Chains A and B, each alone.
Chain A
Amino acid sequence: MLAKRIIPCLDVKEGEVVKGVHFKNLRYAGKPQELAKLYDKQGADEIVYLDISASPQGRKTLLEVVEATAEEVFIPLTVGGGISEESDIRRVLKAGADKVAINTAAVKNPDIIRAGSKRFGAQCIVSAIDAKRVYEDREDRITVETPQGKCWFDVYIYGGRVSTGMDAVAWAKRVEELGAGEILLTSMDADGTKMGFDIPLTRKISEETRVPIIASGGAGKLKHIYEALTKGKADAALAASIFHYKEYTVGDIKKYLREKGVEVRI
């Protein structure tokens, strides 16, 4: 049976690791390739780098970081952020990444998913979706019952700064049709809170699509990850701060999950 995956995520700015709380107030937390090596040793199943550099120089630095990582880390590496055309995908893969995560560019031009998938294979095209709850009962939106009330999920772009008004569940189905091989689903409401993943969101998108789902945003306790992989039906859980600040190791999480009967690679 396929093991559930634990994926540390490193937000990288100008070649350095940072983690935003609610996508704001960035704090420094170490060198990306050093952390990637550490997580690999701890038993991480994959590594994600999200590039939040604003400058072309920062992007170039990221490619160097990817190259340095590929020298020493032999588990899959996904790179997201700043991917806007096919040539960006090619550059990142050539530097040593296995997958690219695409968010804003896909919303603005969905064809990048289709073209990227055809050219490089569906397995390396990850659709990153940032979703935020809107507590409205609308007929033209896919709604979900939550403990806080009925809501639909709005897709955000530009690192969580811009609302698109697009339905996240419908968008997830669309990117699957276009050829995305995986969905990296981040809850804007939960991200940075350490209060747990948005389970209704994760579950809905897992049930409505046939590609693997990586749940992201809100991991603070071991049980949050367990819930995302069971109640949320996610295939993988992604987290950042709980690893960077050494609250838990990847090994701690996997041991806990295995005791609870979840198949993980140890």
Chain B
Amino acid sequence: MRPRIGIIDYGVGNLRSVQKGLSLKGAQPVITAEEEALRECDAFVLPGVGAFGDAMERLKPLKGLLLDSLDEKPVLGICLGMQLFFDESEEDGLHQGLGVMKGRVIRLPASVKVPQMGWNRVEIKKKSRLMEGIKSGEYFYFVHSYYAVPTEDVTVATTHYGTEIAAVVEKGNAMATQFHPEKSGAPGLRILENFVSMAKKG
């Protein structure tokens, strides 16, 4: 069975790569913002493009559906999609997030070039479903100016860029990466594969 994964289309940017990656790993991905179409899905991807405030605004009509789904369906946040899981963000003023995970999104430290753009090592801190089969210290592709600081124990992997940064978080069915698995070559595709197998079980 090819699980149906809804890639939530709440703006702009390249959604094709995540779509192709999921499809390659055995899913049936659909890019949509239609609530009806999303209800049919076994799992969701919350992709990452644009600014936090805008994204929350566009996501508003789907917020209820997303939060309800978390009881039984896995949801993968990518980049900004990860940040949206948290309580609030300091990007362009203070904005409320989905509040699925406790913590705040803040700007990268002034000691480093912003955005962080490129491949950085990810250290695994504890066992997780998303990072299964991936060795600690593997490189992943990051592009971001803000990062999440969790105030509860959700971090499963970190990276270092000016400071220690949560790179992968998991809390029940909510899971997310600050980097782009769909742009991180073979190790990134492995993460998508892990997610597809969770969608199958779900």
Contacts and interface: CB of A to CB of B under 8 A. Distances in A.
Interface residues of A, number: 36
A182 B14 contact: no
Given A1-B160, A2-B120, A124-B13, A70 B20 contact: yes
A212 interface: yes
B17 A98 contact: yes
A3 B141 contact: no
A75 interface: yes
Classify chain B's interface size: 35 or more
A121 B16 contact: no
Contact of A235 (B13, B113, B180): B113
> What are the 4 A-B residue pairs with the smallest beta carbon separation, nearest first?
A96-B16, A265-B139, A123-B143, A265-B119
A74 B184 contact: yes
B179 to A, nearest CB: 11
Nearest to A72: B20
A115 interface: no
Contact of B115 (A4, A93, A97, A181): A181
Given A93-B14, A98-B17, A120 B119 contact: no
B118 A122 contact: no
Contacts of B141: 45, 75-76
Contact of B12 (A3, A74, A90): A90
A90 B143 CA distance: 19
Residue of A5, A74, A118, A236 with highest tally of chain B CB at under 10 A: A74
A94 interface: yes
B194 to A, nearest CB: 15
Interface string B78-106: 00000000000000000000000000000
B118 A235 contact: yes
Contacts of A72: 20
Nearest to A181: B115
Contact of A95 (B16, B119, B121, B145): B16
A67 interface: yes
Given A67-B16, A74-B17, A90-B12, A40 B185 contact: yes
Contacts of A1: 120-121, 160-161
Given A90-B12, A120-B13, A123-B144, A3 B117 contact: no
